């Protein structure tokens, strides 16, 4: 045991060496004073109680509350926080026990997975990220917070800011995709949205940056699996969104389930304490993931529950979600002298700080107002924004002149397992969203085209081999002017513990689409899924594909808006779509190698049975209009260490519709003290143009934008040659070069 503590401390020392500058603190002296006074009154047991979090799982809404184990723990001051208790009424009942029946009247903190909405459900976060619209992402989180707080919640277990480069991993749907620069901006936007300007406002939720860290690098894309990556990759790819969340003032962190290079994150003092708390200056608290402290036993890191409690606590995990190990063992550990009361105080202080900042001590029932709850949940303004947000999230992958469809059609066939489906539109993290409130695609289209005959047939399920519905679907399609197929993955095929080894359309959907396509009619496939799919065959065979993700409550209306031209698609992929599973991991931000990929040349880095290129690259997405982007012009060809560079391109709408283009800027550092990726996203701007209209888009590139962890792990820009790429996706070849002087 002692040996392990020593090891924890050593790992801390090593890692703190490669971290960024120390932050200054922003503690509120009045709150800190109040915490001091309160802690003076607390017994050791009551302090440990604040570190304990248990799940309600909904069963606490009935009359059993007063007699439950939980109620007893709350009365005794042995439970500081609960998750999965929903509604103003249920949270009020428990809060009443805490503030009326416990000795010190410390309010409970209620947390919940508010991942992409509370009652009004927005597109899955990967879909929202495809909007590349930070204001819209922030606004969706703001609405989610408004609804969740009205229903008694104080704390969202979001944003999930894990960079994800392996689409087999089911949790790619919860994040912002593969890029650390963009992922950091999205992390900030979501934190701003949840937390608003002041945590003490009635409609703001404490946010939680999760899962710290490198969870997205799970080996083979299998959830909870081992992570083994270099310190450099950790620093450059996986840590930045977490740092961004701290810079934005995120209130809490959640530790990841995975081990990192041999140490479970729940025991990683180097990252959780030395880097996050001491170097980055994070003043909030860190919660474990569900039972992750106890899981250090199966990890093979701790032999007993007591050892696990010790390792987790020493490694900066302040609150124990669901394993009950802190409440069962910490007192003993203090008595044995292995944990000091000073250390306990630090964890308690962090948790009380957030409770004070949320205003819970001023009014513990401020979030428990059933009338306000009724007014806020599914408020029409929220639903309207969910529709806009879903429109913004959708990515047009292919269009051979078919879309938008004409409203004048006499009949339209709508086929597929997602066509009249409410439940799966919500995704797995559906919060309190209910299927009955979801607008299906069938209803969205009927509302849009009241005079068109809509011939609906499911055709087949998402999975299984049943082809018995094919005949009905083909018949319907035969008598229609055009065919829309709503295909994809069910909600339960992406999310936590929902990883796949085959990323094609599951079941017999492929066969159904092929049969329908034989009819030779205009055919559009609308894809609903939680991750990039391997659909090269689809791209080759059908004339139009729209990526709709899992679009949430208003999904059907939004897809109809796009299909019939009321909204011109503008989303871009935040994650690369590979051609096949064998190419994974495949992402734009890769190294060149000594034998750069050239599919036509034998001894280069390539495959013999597949192109090496993606099916659709990061940043890709079409519009109903077309844009022409000029080669970038630079304000200088050489800049000094204190200069900045202005990169300008002309963008022209060369099509016949108004539309918006996301102009993206990437930079390559050609030679470094360590090799650099072939390109890195460094900026993006959206422009909206009328047909024929042209504008100039300018980006400013600062020397700090060129910085990276050099060979000796200092974060700085190295003099030398750079290439700037600007274009409509990460594969753009429009470029200009410049150099940075010493
Ligand atoms: C997930 C977390 C989630 C927690 C609470 C865990 O299984 O990994 O992301 O916040 O459960 O529901």
CATH number reported for the structural domain that contains residue 497 in this entry? 3.40.50.1700
Local confidence band at 24 (pLDDT 50, 70, 90 cut-offs)? low
Q: Give the pLDDT mean for 15-25.
A: 48
Do 349 and 386 fall into the same domain?
Answer: no
Q: Residue 404 above 70 pLDDT? A: yes
Closest of 427, 422, 479, 418 to residue 454, by C-alpha: 479
Write the residue with the smallest CA distance to atom 8 of ligand 1: 289
Arithmetic mean of pLDDT over the chain: 95
Q: Give the pLDDT mean for 278-291.
A: 98
Does residue 701 sit in helix, strand or coil?
A: strand
Report pLDDT for 78.
97
Q: Which of 179, 289, 320, 669 is catalytic?
A: 289
Report pLDDT for 281.
97
CA distance 78 to 46: 6
> Candidates 253, 289, 292, 429: which one to mutate for ligand 1, based on the most atoms within 8 Å of Cβ?
289
Report pLDDT for 2.
43
Do 385 and 473 fall into the same domain?
Answer: yes
Active-site residue, 729 included:
no
CA distance 213 to 206: 20
Write the residue with the smallest CA distance to atom 4 of ligand 1: 290
Q: How far is the CA of 221 from the centre of ligand 1 (A)?
A: 18
Place of tokens 């010190």: 104
Report pLDDT for 26.
80
Do 228 and 314 fall into the same domain?
Answer: yes
Local confidence band at 25 (pLDDT 50, 70, 90 cut-offs)? low
Q: Give the pLDDT mean for 652-676.
A: 98
In sequence order, which residues have a C-beta less than 8 Å from that of residue 409 and are 6 or more positions away?
449, 452, 481, 482
Q: Residue 264 above 50 pLDDT? A: yes
Do 363 and 422 fall into the same domain?
Answer: no
Q: Is residue 192 part of a domain?
A: yes
Do 171 and 292 fall into the same domain?
Answer: yes
Place of tokens 């066969």: 511
End-to-end CA distance of the chain: 51
CA dihedral 399, 401, 405, 411 (to 10 degrees): -110
Asked if 386 contacts 122 with a C-beta cutoff of 8 angstroms, the reply is yes
Q: Give the pLDDT mean for 281-298.
A: 98
Structure tokens, 430: 């559906």
CATH number reported for the structural domain that contains residue 637 in this entry? 2.60.40.10
Q: Give the pLDDT mean for 137-161.
A: 97
Q: Is residue 7 part of a domain?
A: no
Pocket of ligand 1 contains residue 290 by CB under 6 Å: yes
Q: Is residue 600 part of a domain?
A: no
CA distance 128 to 550: 10
Question: For residue 316, what are the domain limits?
Answer: 45-58+65-373
Pocket of ligand 1 contains residue 210 by CB under 6 Å: yes
Q: Give the pLDDT mean for 164-171.
A: 98
> Between these two residues, 618 and 65, which has the higher pLDDT value?
618
Q: Is residue 33 part of a domain?
A: no
CA distance 718 to 703: 9
Q: How far is the CA of 551 from the centre of ligand 1 (A)?
A: 21
Q: What is the per-residue pLDDT across 76-97, written as a single tens digit (0 to 9) for each? A: 999 999 999 999 999 999 999 9
Do 168 and 141 fall into the same domain?
Answer: yes
Do 191 and 284 fall into the same domain?
Answer: yes
Q: Is residue 578 part of a domain?
A: no
CA distance 128 to 182: 12
Pocket of ligand 1 contains residue 715 by CB under 6 Å: no
């Amino acid at each position: 045991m002692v040996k392990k503590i020593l090891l924890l401390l050593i790992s801390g020392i090593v890692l703190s060496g490669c971290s960024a500058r120390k932050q200054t603190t922003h503690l509120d002296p009045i709150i800190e004073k109040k915490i001091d006074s309160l802690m003076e009154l607390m017994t050791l047991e009551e302090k440990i109680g604040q570190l304990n979090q248990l799940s309600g799982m909904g069963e606490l809404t009935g009359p059993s509350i007063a007699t439950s184990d939980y109620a007893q723990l709350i009365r005794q001051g042995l439970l500081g926080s609960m998750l999965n208790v929903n509604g103003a009424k249920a949270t009020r009942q428990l809060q009443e026990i805490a503030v009326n029946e416990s000795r010190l009247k410390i309010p409970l903190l209620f947390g919940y997975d508010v991942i992409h909405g509370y009652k009004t459900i927005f597109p899955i976060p990967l879909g929202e990220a495809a909007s590349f619209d930070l204001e819209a992402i922030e606004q969706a989180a703001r609405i989610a917070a408004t609804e969740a707080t009205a229903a008694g919640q104080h704390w969202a277990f979001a944003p999930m800011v894990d960079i994800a480069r392996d689409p087999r991993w089911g949790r790619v749907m919860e994040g912002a995709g593969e890029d650390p620069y963009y992922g950091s901006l999205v992390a900030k936007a979501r934190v701003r949205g949840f937390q608003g300007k002041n945590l003490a406002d009635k409609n703001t939720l404490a946010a939680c940056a999760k899962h710290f860290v490198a969870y997205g690098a799970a080996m083979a894309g299998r959830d909870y699996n081992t992570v083994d990556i270099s310190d450099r990759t950790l620093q450059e790819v996986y840590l930045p969104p977490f740092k961004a969340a701290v810079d934005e003032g995120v209130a809490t962190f959640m530790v990841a389930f995975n081990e990192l290079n041999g140490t479970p994150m729940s025991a990683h003092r180097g990252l959780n304490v030395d880097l996050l708390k001491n170097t980055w200056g994070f003043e909030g608290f860190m919660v474990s993931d569900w039972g992750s402290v106890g899981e250090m036993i199966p990890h093979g890191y701790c032999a007993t529950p007591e050892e696990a409690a010790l390792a987790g606590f020493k490694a900066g995990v302040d609150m124990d979600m669901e394993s009950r190990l802190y409440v069962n063992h910490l007192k003993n550990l203090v008595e044995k002298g292995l944990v000091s009361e000073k250390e306990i105080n630090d964890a308690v202080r962090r948790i009380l700080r957030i409770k004070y900042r949320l205003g819970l001590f001023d009014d513990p029932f401020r979030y428990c107002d059933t009338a306000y709850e009724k007014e806020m949940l599914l408020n029409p303004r929220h639903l309207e924004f969910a529709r806009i947000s879903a429109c913004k999230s959708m990515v047009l992958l292919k269009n051979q002149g078919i879309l938008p469809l004409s409203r004048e059609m006499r009949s339209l066939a709508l086929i597929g397992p997602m066509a009249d489906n409410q439940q799966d539109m919500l995704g797995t993290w559906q919060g309190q969203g209910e299927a009955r409130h979801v607008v299906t695609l069938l209803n969205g289209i009927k509302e849009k085209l009241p005079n068109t005959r809509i011939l609906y047939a499911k055709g087949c399920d998402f999975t299984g081999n049943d082809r018995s519905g094919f005949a009905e679907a083909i018949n319907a399609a035969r008598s229609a002017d055009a065919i829309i197929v709503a295909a994809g993955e069910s909600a339960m095929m992406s999310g936590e513990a929902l990883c796949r080894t085959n990323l094609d359309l599951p079941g017999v959907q492929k066969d159904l689409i092929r049969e329908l396509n034989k009819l030779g009619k205009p055919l559009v496939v609308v894809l609903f899924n939680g991750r990039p799919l391997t659909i090269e065959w689809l791209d080759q065979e059908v004339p139009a594909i729209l990526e709709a993700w899992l679009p949430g409550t208003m999904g059907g209306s939004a897809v109809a808006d796009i299909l019939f031209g009321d909204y011109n698609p503008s989303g871009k992929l935040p994650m690369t779509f590979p051609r096949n599973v064998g190419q994974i991991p495949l992402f734009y931000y890769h190294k060149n190698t000594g034998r750069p990929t050239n599919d036509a040349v034998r001894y280069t880095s390539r495959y013999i049975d597949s192109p090496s290129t993606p099916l659709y690259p990061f940043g890709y997405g079409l519009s109903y209009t077309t844009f022409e982007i000029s080669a970038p012009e630079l304000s200088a060809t050489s800049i000094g260490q204190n200069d900045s560079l202005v990169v300008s391109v002309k963008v022209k709408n060369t099509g016949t519709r108004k539309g918006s283009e996301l102009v993206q800027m990437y930079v390559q550092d050609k030679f470094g003290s360590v090799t650099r990726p072939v390109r890195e996203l460094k900026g993006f701007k959206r422009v909206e143009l009328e047909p024929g209209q042209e504008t100039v888009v300018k980006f400013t590139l600062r020397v700090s934008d060129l910085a990276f962890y050099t060979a000796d792990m200092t974060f700085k820009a190295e003099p030398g040659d750079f290439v700037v790429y600007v274009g409509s996706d990460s594969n753009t070849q429009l470029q200009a070069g410049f150099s940075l002087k010493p």
